[in-house]
Structure 1
Amino acid sequence: MQEENINLERTAIIKGDLKYTNIGQIIKSSFFKKLIKTFIKELEVKKSYLIKTLEPFQNENGDFNEREFIDFIYLLNINSLEEIIRSGYFDIQMTYEEYSQLFLGFLEGFYNYWRGIQRFMIKMDGYSPDEGTKRSKAFSLISNNDAFKKMVLDLYRNIHFNVTGKGVRIYRQLPSGAQVAFLADYFEFDREAKSKNDSLYQIPYIWEAIFEPPVIFYTQSNKREGVFPVKDKRILQKFYLASDEWFAIPLKVGRLLSIVYVQKEYMALGAGLFNLFEMATPEEFTKQKPDSVVFFGLDESIFDEDEKLGFVTKEDDVYYGLIPDLAQIDYFGYMKKILLTLHNVIQIEMKALPIHGAFAKIRVGGRKSANIMLIGDSGAGKSETLEAINKLPREMACDFDILIDDMGSLHFNKEGELMAVGTEVGAFVRLDDLQPGYAYSTMDRSIFMNPNIANARVIVPQMTYEEISKSTRVDFIFYINNYEKIDDEVPAIEIFEDLNAAYDVFSEGKRMAKGTTGEVGLTNTYFANPFGAVQMKEEHEKIARKTFKKMKEIGVQVGMIRTQLGIPGCEQDGPYIAAQELIRFIDKTNSEKL
């Protein structure tokens, strides 16, 4: 493990091509030395009493002898602390009882410090289209990470025993290796697939991902602010991606091919993409030019003042999203929404209507079904209303399949039917808004982001790519209203008779902000969609009015569902009531027979 491959303040990149067979590979590495240095710096900043642990390894000027301390740890792995003190090899003036308690605190702090870092293992391994070969390479990486994890656990346990002289009665196999492991390779690209920045083809492209659940990441920010402006500027020649600093993640965002270039400090956000989007294969991304490209973590000096949270531009028929290297954008919402903004801008260019909503096939009583589109901004209650269906009484005999969780597009097929296409195979949702226990029931495949602070999130896979990428007929469209309380005069579900009134509600995009973005209180966002629709409002409005007019002509009903999610005290009951009324509504309609 080489020091230049890691930054242990937030992220550790562990070399995955090593087979870890002895503890010396860890203790004697530059990787371990840097970890010690960084931990000591943290203790100094906190003015921790544990700094006293280092006194025996300081000279008369107070300079710390790092090499001597590393030797001490190496010996402590195989000898008891009492024997080491008695030998006099190190200048430990305290008694065994005093120093053992002090060092035990240092050990626990150091171990927890390591486990609190975002840990990734990267193995450079040649891609093969053969499925058997790919499995073999994945198993090899899994084995290497297992061996590394065992070495870390063994080191901790050996030292703990040699400090205390006591074994433990309960062994906890705490996650101590890499949280996510990647197989990556360098690829040759067809000329027509390449852009004018050659550095994009000199960095590793990830072609396989392996997760060690539970995967929990803590980021520097927990909310998203603003929108990404769409600019007309050429940017490809303004930066260079260093091959030891960046990784490429090829994806399918709906039917579009996208490549995300991630600076290594933001690999936690990059890892989240594997639960949210379908991976693109080398056979796809090396042969064709991508529809969109994201650069996440570029030097902020190339950004203008109004671009500090990122921006979108088009160059040589490809849309690009650029995000600066800033602490405030270290939040998965920025990663997800820049990709979806690019998707939506492309849809508008293709004359399709991008929608910010959830889409589900809901079945009732084994007799009726309807494909329901729920449109609304973040925190309106789209996903929460659908999830509440799972809590309804069994006698209502209802279930659903999610086809779009957050973003998609609408178009009309040759037969004139309104059709929807999705973008994501997973969901990025607030823990607080899910039914109790749901996220934990999916812990073995979820990625948790900041689980113990405000706006805690989980990224969980839900659908197959085949489901979200095909065109599916839309039966009903509802605007999600989270700010009005229902009563005898204000129903949970309302169908619009007036096309203009319906258009005005959708266009106004009103909602009660719930802290998922930088907004608070009652807000308005054009078509509840700050991801492309706002930036290209003139073009979007032409498509939207044409779509609404044709929906009325073909009989697609348009309405509003009041979830009450933004009303204090209604966070759980509101979506439940909305789900209950939605099922009753479907049951009363002449929906498609199952």
Structure 2
Amino acid sequence: MSRSFIIDGSIIYTNYSQIIGQSKFEELLREFVDILKEKQSPLLNALNAFKVNSDYDVHRFTEYLHLLTMRNIKEIGNIIYYVNPKDLERFIEAFYTFWRSKHRFMVRNEKYAEDYNRRASIEYTVTMIGDQFKATIKNLYRELMMNVSNTFPTVMRQLPSGAQVMFLIQEPNGEKYRKNEWVTKIPTVWGAIFDPPAIFYTKSNKRRGILPVVEKDILSEIALDPNEWYRFAIYVGDLLMYNFVHVEYLAHGAGLANLFELATPKDLESREPDGILIFGLPADKIPGYNEKWRNGVIFKEEDGYTGVIPAFDENDYFGYMKKTTLTIHNLIKIDRGKLPIHGSMARITLKSGKSVVAMFVGDSGAGKSETLDALNRLEEVAQIDTIIDDMGSLDIIDGHVVAFGTETGAFVRLDDLPPGFAYSTMDRSIFMNPDQINARVIVPFNNYNEVITPTHIDFFLYANNYTEVHNDEERIVFFKNPNEALKVFSEGKRMSKGTTSETGLTNSYFANPFGAIQRKEEHHRIAEHFIKKMFETGVKIGEIRTMLGVQGYEKEGTMLAARALLKVIEQI
């Protein structure tokens, strides 16, 4: 049973026959009937007239539904076996719900156009096709229900029933990368159109373990089927990544499009990828598979890094997609002598005119994003411009430490944010498991050019979510020397918030299990150099106590920390 449903974007849907007449419709109906049979559901009573031995003639039932789009159930009673209207009404309602539970994607093969006007025209056409499909599906449902029940509803609900995301794809052609032939055959996603709110339910909602790095060339031993895989070429900071996503996990591909900058087919003609990720590869297709790689592995090849996430239900979580991508980014940065940072960074502008750039370092659930959100709600703050939400890197330019971001969006944990936040972003967000612990939303927040522009930082703060404090003087403390700072950042203490499989007070080297721990020795040398440089150039390095992991302060703690930081900024 496939969770993802691919809709042909080359068809303009204008009548019910285009829907019911497709083999995919009958396959979907067959799948639904099989599920009902397994459950021994009473909904199957609607199909008694089509029962053949212990099974049901789904093809004939499909033809019956087709006839029902044109005639009232009473009018066709003398043409076909008697069907109970009440039973059929309940069946159609359940089938419609089943359809809407699918991850629905429309895919249109269209050559990328460099001309802006031509590209806008293509996207408009796809949007129109998507709207037509959605309208046809809703009208089909209503027509069937009306012809079965002989009534028309007084209240109509425009339930989301069309494609949640529309992808524009192109067959690879003329790109610079030529090392592995299969790579050049996978269709490339160059555009995406969302129909919000896009809500996806995945089989897991937390990460486990640390990604091992193995020295092994594996790309030449892998061959992906172009009929089952899509390539998302994305910019992660200034690095180019090829993320290959199996159709079953296409919801995570949609997440990539909302979180990173998509590269264009034109971009691929002039440069090769810095890293590659394959998401959803069966374990038996991974060369030399080791059970230690169950939650993901990164291979260091002769000329780069390749990450692989095996196709297990426990890995069906966008955090694996995002964090593996960022781990590859961080490994490359360490190799190049840069310092990857697991944290958030924003330009904070007060109504008084003062403006500073603060970077918060911390692992998942430490309170980085939550503190920025709290700052944004303070009356004295004019504006918060988020530059880095989760991962970035530091470099030294003209003797000063500068920061670069990686993502144009945020993968935000909703549990610790104000309830209204989810509703304020519904029109541009992807929601993942919104009714579960560690519910997440993927929301864009910045443009790519600003993310990759080098930014000078004024505050470099470790986000401590576990220490309980009772006055503003203790909420932010500054380190006296590089060694003191290096000790706290290296310990990486954090109270777990349920975002991973960890519980209680944990340690994570430099709060960064995404590359730093795998290259600890090299990372430590680089970190020591950068922290010393920050002390030399006047960057304020310290610790901010968010209390996000302290019982009773989950909501209030980040607001208290934000107010304490505001005081510090005002005193500059």
Hey, what's the Cα distance between the residues in 2 that align with 1:536 and 1:44? 53
Residues 2 and 248 of structure 2 are in contact (CA less than 8 Å); yes or no, is this contact kept in structure 1?
A: no
- 1:117 aligned to which of 99, 102, 113: 102
Structure 1 Cα separation of the partners of residues 269 and 202 of structure 2 = 32
Pair 1:134-2:124 in alignment: no
Partner of residue 91, structure 1: 81
Q: 1:256-302: CA deviations, max 9, x gaps?
A: 11111111011000001111111112221232111111111112122
Tell me what 1:386 maps to.
Answer: 372
Q: Which residue of 1 aligns with 2:143?
A: 158
Give the conservation status (yes or no) of the 8 Å contact 2:46–2:87.
Answer: yes
CA shift for structure 1 position 529: 0.1
CA distance in 2, matches of 1:578, 1:121: 45
For the pair 1:409 / 2:396, whether they are aligned, the reply is no
Work out the CA distance in 2 between the residues paired with 1:364 and 1:29. 59
Residues 200-221 of structure 1: CA distance to partner in whole angstroms, max 9, x if unpaired? 1112101111111111001111
Q: Which amino acid aligns with 1:128?
A: A
Determine if contact 1:398/1:583 at 8 Å carries over to the other structure. no
Q: Do the aligned partners of 1:389 and 1:398 also contact (CA within 8 Å) in 2?
A: no
CA 1:552–1:164: 2 relative to 1, 3 Å: same
Runs of 5+ in structure 1 lacking a partner? Answer: 1-7, 590-594
RMSD (CA atoms): 1.4
Render the CA deviation track for 1:532-556: whole Å, top value 9, x for unaligned: 0011101101101111222222222
Q: 1:188 to 1:493 in 2, by over 3 A?
A: same
Separation in structure 2 between the aligned mates of residue 452 and residue 63 of structure 1, nearest angstrom: 36
Q: Which residue pairs with 1:38 in the alignment?
A: 31
Deviation readout 1:193-237 (Å, 9 max, x if unpaired): 222x21111121011111111110011111111111111001012
- Of 78, 97, 103, 2:88 maps to 103
Q: Distance in 2 between matches of 1:535 and 1:176?
A: 44
Cα distance between partner residues in 2 of 1:237 and 1:9? 28
Corresponding residue pairs, total = 569
1:75 matched to 2:64? The reply is no
SS in 2 for 1:295: strand
Shift >6 Å, 4+ stretches: none
Q: 1:90 to 1:460 in 2, by over 3 A?
A: same
SS in structure 1 at match of 2:345 = strand
CA–CA separation in structure 2 for the residues paired with 1:565 and 1:324? 33
SS at match of 2:355: strand
**Residues 494-522 of structure 1: CA distance to partner in whole angstroms, max 9, x if unpaired?**
11113222211100000001010111111
1:139 alignment partner, SS class:
helix
Gap regions ≥5 residues in structure 2: none
Equivalent residue for 2:332? 346
Give 2:387's aligned amino acid: L
Matched, 1:199 2:182: yes
1:371/1:474 contact within 8 Å kept: yes
How far does residue 67 in structure 1 lie from its aligned partner after superposition?
2.0
Paired with 1:286 and 1:157, the residues of 2 have a C-alpha distance of: 48
Identity of aligned pairs, percent?
46
SS at match of 2:542: strand
Look up the equivalent residue of 2:564 and give its one-letter code.
E
Q: CA separation in 1, counterparts of 2:395 and 2:472?
A: 35
Q: 1:367 to 1:127 in 2, by over 3 A?
A: closer
Contact conserved, 2:341 with 2:391, CA < 8 A, in 1?
yes
The reply to whether residue 573 of structure 1 matches residue 556 of structure 2 is yes
Superposed CA deviations along residues 311-359 of structure 1, whole A, max 9, x for unmatched, are 1123242221111111111110000001100110011001011000111
Q: 1:504 to 1:66 in 2, by over 3 A?
A: same
Per the alignment, residue 321 of structure 1 pairs with 307
Aligned partners of 1:397 and 1:63: how far apart in 2?
66
Q: TM-score, normalised by structure 2?
A: 0.97
Q: 1:330 aligns with which of 316, 321, 324?
A: 316
Q: Which residue identity lines up with residue 194 of structure 1 in the other structure?
A: R
Q: CA deviation at 1:471?
A: 0.5
Contact 1:189 1:201 in 2 (8 A): no
Identify which of 127, 130, 133 aligns with 1:145. 130
Q: 1:270 aligns with which of 253, 265, 277?
A: 253
CA distance in 2, matches of 1:367, 1:147: 49
Comparing 30-39 with 496-505, which one deviates more in the overlay? 496-505
